[in-house]
A and B are shown apart, each in its own frame.
Chain A
Amino acid sequence: MRFWTRRFGTDAGRVIAITPQKRKARLFEEFRKQYAWQIREVQFTLKLLRRNPSAVGGFAIILAMVLMALSAPLLAPYNPIQISLAERLASPSAAHWFGTDEIGRDILSRVMYGARISLWIGIVVVAIAGGLGAVIGAASGYLGRGVDNVIMRVMDVILSFPPLVLALALAAALGPSLNNAILAVAFVMIPKFARMVRGEALAVKEKQFIAAARASGAGSIWIVWHHILPNCFSSVIVLGTLILGETILIAASLSFIGLGAQPPEPEWGAMISVGRKFLMDQWWYATFPGLFILVTVIGFNIFGDALRDVLDPRIRR
């Protein structure tokens, strides 16, 4: 959309008395007309996604996990932190599908509540890293020269560490807690978004509508916010889906080492960390939480891959 149509709407200057309902309907109609191209695009993408089996499969997994997380208080058969020493380390049975842990807590209930923590970590990390990374990348790509050089060298430095190693060092320095682990992982993920958005920004900034905007007197910040960033949106979504899976893995690894969620929080990685001590005799303890990590990450990975295929204009049609 051209930027001036938004500022000086087609109604500008006309004063007509109409009912609020009519006005609403007209605004809606106008919105549809203005964004007709984008709406068609979204509808077409959704159609392609529905036809893509791995997109449907991945989405089904994600949806199932989200529903499980949201309705854990309703669905979970037991209280996830309810101690019941009489039933400790019970093997899977009709009463406890996934067995119980060393102080008799129901593992199925803990796994269900664990989905809340893992998904929450994933969403917060992607929101922080994606938001900051996109703004940094867009500014870097659009402003170019010195700014670009400095920002990208800083990003290179962060990328010089294997992700898990840097997240581990940061989380350890900040102190073991869930929020610190989230901060650490988000910091590590920023350059991945920044790099990609910068690449897109470099391509977008050569387009004519940018020159037009600049000729109309738009400032750099305005152009980055209103033109560069919206054009990178679909790539950020794709990358965000894939990074969400990676984030869940790294966060679970940190918890496994003892730096993420702290007991008695029912976090999957932390559960495996304790379950490891009981591996030889109580196989169910470490097995089920890990299975849920695996399935969740598979969901995000195959959905992200399918989304990328569908949104990539070179191979979509």
Chain B
Amino acid sequence: MQILSYVLKRLLYLVPVLLGVTLLVFVISHAIPGDPARMMAGQKASHEAVENLRRSMGLDRPLPEQYAAYLFGLLRGDLGFSIRNQRPVIEDLRDFFPATLELSLASMLLCVGVGLPLGIVSAVRRNRPVDHASRVFSVFGVSMPVFWLGLMLLLLFYRTLGWLPGSGRLDIHIDPPAQATGLYLIDTLLEGSLAKFGDALLHLLMPAFCLSYVYLAIITRIVRSSMISVMGLDFITTARANGISEAAIVLKHCLKNSLIPTVTITGLSIGELLGGAILTETIFNWPGMGKYVVDSVNFLDFPALMGFTLVVALAYVLINLAVDVLYAFLDPQVRY
């Protein structure tokens, strides 16, 4: 009951934030650039054409009215019209979303699958060589320009060693699998083609690592520091005095209690991965939303950019809400 009312409260609180997010995107897209109609029509368009476009876009009405129209459009799923592809932005994003989702999920898996054990080992072997190595690894991670890391990976694994393919989701000679989930790893398995699955996996490795490295580093740090702070508490000493094996102490007593900050940071990372994907997808030519948005920026396709910005912000807000709720379930001490 308590949790339910907490969730309701959080949902209510979401309303002003969502309104604020749409308002900010609206202000950026409608108020800042000199003249959206001129931008939409192109530099060479005649004065009348621009005026007609302005009227048909409703840009001659006062700003609050435009904002209301924008909001109602959003409720109907209208994110604007892409200048570059000449179709609604939401359809574009829908097409590009699965690739980004696959990349983000793979990165998340890497983050948790590598970051968690690394953090635990680092905390248990504190101030030993393993710990120092993992700390250096994470300092590099949080300081790494993602786009440069991608290029260096390409140089090493594609150019020099030739182990991994350098761009796209599949070899260009392989037909993409039938669209079921849009995630190639799953779709190829559904088709029963192991060769295609292997190819998709090889294509995924470098981008996924590149995207995950920053958050991998952050998660390793958080796990390490929260494990260390739990390990210093009295109940661990008691457990040791009771003769419980060291492995059980670390995995059961410490890990469970240090999971909460880890869950928070993991949830935050999912949202940030969407931002990081912009750079990673550009480097590896990964046909997802991130590459789409960079291409749009270079084409001055503002509706596409703003649609993407809004969708990412909404996803970010919802994920944070989910994390907060999960947090309430995980930690019996949290009272609201």
Residues on A close to B: CB < 8 A? 153-154, 156-158, 160-166, 168-170, 172-175, 245, 249, 252-253, 256-259, 269, 272, 275-276, 279-280, 283, 286-287, 289-290, 293-294, 297-298, 301-302
Contacting residues, chain B, for A276 (C-beta < 8 A)? 151, 283
A165–B297 touching, CB < 8 Å: no
B143–A272 touching, CB < 8 Å: no
Closest A residue to B271 using CB positions: A162
**Interface residue from A157, A166, A286, A298 paired with B309 (Cβ < 8 Å):** A166
Name the prevailing secondary structure of the B interface residues: helix
Contacts known (A160-B316, A302-B139); A169 close to B305, Cβ less than 8 A: yes
Min CB distance B17 to A, Å, is 6
Contacting residues, chain A, for B140 (C-beta < 8 A)? 294, 298
B278–A165 touching, CB < 8 Å: yes
Contacting residues, chain B, for A173 (C-beta < 8 A)? 28-29, 32-33, 302
Contacting residues, chain A, for B283 (C-beta < 8 A)? 276
Q: Report how far A164 CA is from B33 CA in the complex, Å.
A: 19
Name the prevailing secondary structure of the A interface residues: helix
B155–A165 touching, CB < 8 Å: no
Residues of B within 8 A of A (CB-CB), count: 48
**B231 CB within 8 Å of chain A:** no
B147–A256 touching, CB < 8 Å: yes
Residues on B close to A: CB < 8 A? 16-17, 20-21, 23-25, 28-29, 32-33, 139-140, 142-148, 151-152, 154-155, 159, 271-272, 274-276, 278-279, 282-283, 293-294, 297-298, 302, 305-306, 308-309, 312-313, 316-317, 320
A272–B148 touching, CB < 8 Å: yes
B16–A294 touching, CB < 8 Å: no
A174–B32 touching, CB < 8 Å: yes
A286–B143 touching, CB < 8 Å: no
Q: Report how far A172 CA is from B39 CA in the complex, Å.
A: 13
Closest A residue to B22 using CB positions: A157
A279–B159 touching, CB < 8 Å: yes
Contacting residues, chain B, for A257 (C-beta < 8 A)? 278-279, 282, 294, 297-298
21 contacts between A and B (CB under 8 A): A153-B20, A160-B17, A160-B21, A161-B21, A161-B309, A162-B271, A162-B272, A165-B308, A165-B309, A165-B312, A168-B297, A169-B305, A170-B32, A253-B146, A256-B147, A257-B294, A272-B148, A276-B283, A283-B155, A294-B148, A298-B143
Closest B residue to A289 using CB positions: B148
